[in-house]
Amino acid sequence: MGWKVVCRDLKRVKFRLFQGTLVFLLCCFLSACSAGSPYQLHEAGVTGGASSPESLLHGRQTREIETLNEKLLSQAQLHADPGDYILGSGDLLQIDIFEAKELSTRARVSSRGFVTLPLLGQTKVKGMTAREAETLIERAYGEKYIKNPHVSIFVAEHYSQRVTLVGQFKNPGTYDYVSKQRLLDVMALGGGLTDKASRTVQIRRMGTTPAGEEGPAEGVFYVDLNKLIGEGVTELNVEINGGDVIYVGEAGEYFVDGAVRRPGSYSIRQSTTLQEAIVAAGGLVPYALKDEIVVIRNKGGQRDMQTLDLSKPETWNFPIEAQDVIVAKSSAIGKLWHGFRLNLFGIGYQDPER
């Protein structure tokens, strides 16, 4: 009786091994058949290796920001002229009159913008450049006291004029604004942009114009770096005032969900295509429906949905915009097939999405 039980169990084991072998061979056959798909070959390379599409995409994005920074730094004027420093409240000035040393003085600009000078008394210099203040003082002394005077102003302490760089700069912070400079000059102080940076610069301005007049200089201004640096639209290289805040945020995001290897949000670059968005998310999983990639976009408060077929190469260059949601749909049969598992007890199933 015991021998019959052993024989029966051996037959069951042989049958299960035979069954498992058939399933394994069938899997190999189907994998070999699917290897000829153009997109499958592309997807198979998404493993994070040195030559995978994902690494190539990251490399391209890195080169984009490096090129942008190179152009930014090459176009910036890093050597400012101290004579263009805009004077403001709190600055400590060393004022020398060469023809009358006894009239030389060290004075701090008052909260109202005045300095007190020998013989001249209260003289307003706030909002002027150091060079403009020199000319003003020379004229004032020349009218009453000295023939052809020569005046030199040295800013001993910079207190009033600073600019602040916030956001995706390599070296954000507050910097002394020692002379009149333009946007690219000031951005260069921050050492360039990070690889997460948006291509839009926001200039937040409060206070006064360079001439010291209240009003029109206040507000928020936006500059497109692609036009300024890439296309050379130089009028966008606006003059910066002391007290301005230069802000560069992170690039806009899009979202990838469904049958991809790494669902989540990703930063949008200068131009991101559907293919690049899928590659950034690790590529499609084997059971994804390549002809049912849904792109959901908000247009004027209305949801616009487009279904694209990635088996057609012309759809690979579909442009992705900020806040787009990309959903890769799954094949129910594909999920079932890829969920089969061989084990000691025969064939089991595990949801491949887990």
Residue ranges covered by each domain of the chain: 12-44+252-349, 65-82+161-248, 87-157
- Equal CATH topology for 12-44+252-349 and 65-82+161-248: yes
Question: For the domain bounded by 12-44+252-349, which CATH number is listed?
Answer: 3.10.560.10
Residue 275 and residue 321: Cα distance in Å, rounded? Answer: 13
Residue 4 clears pLDDT 60, i.e. is over it: no
Cβ–Cβ under 8 Å, residues 129 and 84: yes
In this prediction, residue 78 carries a pLDDT of: 58
Q: What's domain 65-82+161-248's superfamily in CATH?
A: Outer membrane lipoprotein wza domain like (3.10.560.10)
The three-state secondary structure class of 302 is: strand
Residue 58 CB contacts under 8 Å (≥ 6 apart), including other chains: none
Selected residue with higher pLDDT from 30 and 36: 30
Residue 135 and residue 268: Cα distance in Å, rounded? Answer: 51
Q: What percent of the chain clears pLDDT 90, i.e. is strictly above it?
A: 24
In this prediction, residue 135 carries a pLDDT of: 94
Tokens describing residue 228: 């300024």
Residue 84 and residue 345: Cα distance in Å, rounded? Answer: 84
Q: What is the mean pLDDT of residues 193-221?
A: 68
Banded pLDDT at 33 (limits 50, 70, 90): very low
Cβ–Cβ under 8 Å, residues 273 and 319: yes
Selected residue with higher pLDDT from 222 and 1: 222
The fold of 87-157 is wza like fold (3.30.1950)
Residue 326 and residue 274: Cα distance in Å, rounded? Answer: 9
